[in-house]
Amino acid sequence: MPTKQKVLLTGAGGLLGSFVAREFAAGYDVTGLDLKGGNGPGAFIAADMTDFDAVDQAVKGMDVVVHVAALANIWAGTPDRIFSVNVSGTYNVLEAAERNGIRRVVICSSDSVHGFTVRNAHMQNPQYLPIDENHPLAPTDAYALSKQVGEAIAESYARRGKLEIVIVRPVFVLFENIYSEVAARCADPKNYKGGMAGGPNPAGGGPAWNYVDPRDLARAFRLAVELQDVTFERFLICGPNTVAPEPTLDRIREFLGYLPEVRNAAQYDREPFAPLYDLSHARDRLGYIPQHDLRPHFVK
């Protein structure tokens, strides 16, 4: 029986990390790395991602690193703390991976690098729809900026020729603990205020109310590990539709006061509530097709 690949999963103690750990459990030997205790299968190392020596030690003997650990949104800390932790954590993972001869590293980024997710006063309007991996980046908050810088660090390491790096850019991850907020927003969009339904943070997903089920996102990370012939690639990951009441193009036209260039009208002809993002690259190259449609749960 072939030996299972050893995967170091950073952020294994978090909500997303627990889904990723379960996705990898059957086919891989998973070790979690996090400040707090792991709640998934496999071994676990307690360490701070900003401590290079600890990260370097954890990476030793691994075959793959999946880097999920981060202060995961704009509500997770002060802007300086979010930027510092996320950037230094990504740098430490990549430097340790290269030093220890790891070949494949998968990095969790965010759709927020496009600048069209949060903080309405600073949002940068999309240049065209659907947004794809080649769309210009325009982050406007510390979290989004930390993710853009993390991608730049990763690409610089890929240029050196020792690491194969896959960037996964998920949209708002719709965990069950935020269902109440999403339901409250769907029930009364005009009067919804973040936190009014007892969730850990406001309902997200940007103006189009994009989402991804954590089970789909976890599978995307596994597909990224298994992807062949990689030097450096990025993939947008989201669900099959939005949880907004209006069709996506109508919603964006109303929100912006105009409609940006639509380069793939067929996407919205087939499914008026299709996401703001183009999943064709993830489908064709990664084999990612979202399996969990959460729209019927929230939009009646």
Which tens digit of pLDDT belongs to each residue from 231-284? 999 999 999 999 999 999 999 999 999 999 999 999 999 999 999 999 999 999
pLDDT attached to residue 77: 86
Going from the C-alpha of 215 to that of each of 112, 224, 230, the distances in angstroms are 20, 14, 24
**pLDDT top residue among 101 and 38:** 101
Alpha-carbon distance of 139 to 286, in angstroms, equals 25
> In angstroms, rounded to a whole number, what is the distance separating the alpha carbons of residues 127 and 105?
30
Average pLDDT over residues 61-68: 97
Distance from C-alpha of 108 to C-alpha of 201, rounded to nearest angstrom? 20
Q: What is the pLDDT of the chain when averaged over all its residues?
A: 94
- The pLDDT value recorded for residue 3 is 81
Question: What is the side-by-side order of every strand in the sheet holding 29-34?
Answer: 43-46, 29-34, 6-10, 64-67, 104-108, 164-170, 232-237
Annotated active-site positions, please? 143
Does residue 1 have a pLDDT over 60?
no
pLDDT at residue number 137: 97
What's the pLDDT at 212? 98
- Say which residue the tokens 């896959």 belong to: 166
172 within 8 A of 106, measured Cβ to Cβ? no
**Angle (CA) 188 120 130, round 5°:** 85
At CB < 8 A and 24+ separation, what contacts does 198-202 make? 200/75, 201/73, 201/75, 202/75
List, for residues 112-148, the tens digit of each pLDDT value.
999 998 867 689 999 999 999 999 999 999 999 999 9
Per-position DSSP letters for 192-218, written without gaps between them: --TTTTS-SS---STTTTB-B-HHHHH
Rg (CA), the chain: 19
Q: What is the pLDDT of residue 69?
A: 95
Looking up tokens 């690949």 gives 5
**Residues contacting residue 195 through CB under 8 Å, at least 6 positions apart:** 181, 201, 202
Residues of the chain with pLDDT > 70, as a percent, come to 97
What pLDDT score was predicted for residue 37? 67
User: Which domains, ranges and CATH numbers included, belong to the chain?
Assistant: 6-176+209-240+274-290 (3.40.50.720)
Instruction: Please state, for a pLDDT cut of 90, what percent of the chain lies above it.
Output: 87
Tell me the whole-structure pTM to 2 decimals. 0.95
Q: Given this model, what pLDDT does residue 32 score?
A: 95
How much is the average pLDDT of 208-218? 98
